[in-house]
Amino acid sequence: GEGPETANVYDNCRGMLKVASMADSLDPVTLSRLVSFASDFEERTGDRCFMVNSAFRTYGDQVSIYRSYSETLGEEYASEGEEYARLYVANPGYSEHHTGMAADLAVVFDDGSSVPIDQYQNYSIMREMIPSYGFILRYPEEKVAVTKIGNEPWHFRYVGVDAAKEIAEKKITFEEYVGHLKAGK
């Protein structure tokens, strides 16, 4: 299918988030929690700098993105394009963006300047705060062997507050968390 019911980020962000596309949308609960996080983050740090760089993606969007990465990079890097696509782009139908509960965040300041999110001076504060709003860093660098996806310091997934806090406290991935649940731990 085309995916879940979503809410437009721009129309519902109350000015707390910038958007890369006026069409970006998220699951309504995910969006509400992200806006709350951004508001509280600004209150704590004085920075209103988060931009939703990518949000909900249809199946068709996923096909196009995967094809684009593998073909474009394939031209430049021969067989590496397909490998890169496998490492950084989910197979169509398997992207967390298809759930409406994942957002790629960027840091863009009001003057238009930006920094890579993991080089942002308050990234550690962000990482400390965000589980309290139900989000996890989905693909951490030290867990590539578990997630099978390359390090994406910008990709955050809404999983609910209790799960996010447990995942952060235990320093585990979503895969490991689900495995613990299945094993009754």
**What is the spatial distance between Cα 67 and Cα 8, in angstroms, rounded to a whole number?**
26
Rounded alpha-carbon distances, angstroms, from residue 85 to 27, 99, 121, 137: 26, 20, 29, 20
Q: Which of 141, 152, 166, 176 is catalytic?
A: 152
Is position 75 annotated as part of the catalytic site? no
Active-site amino acid positions: 152
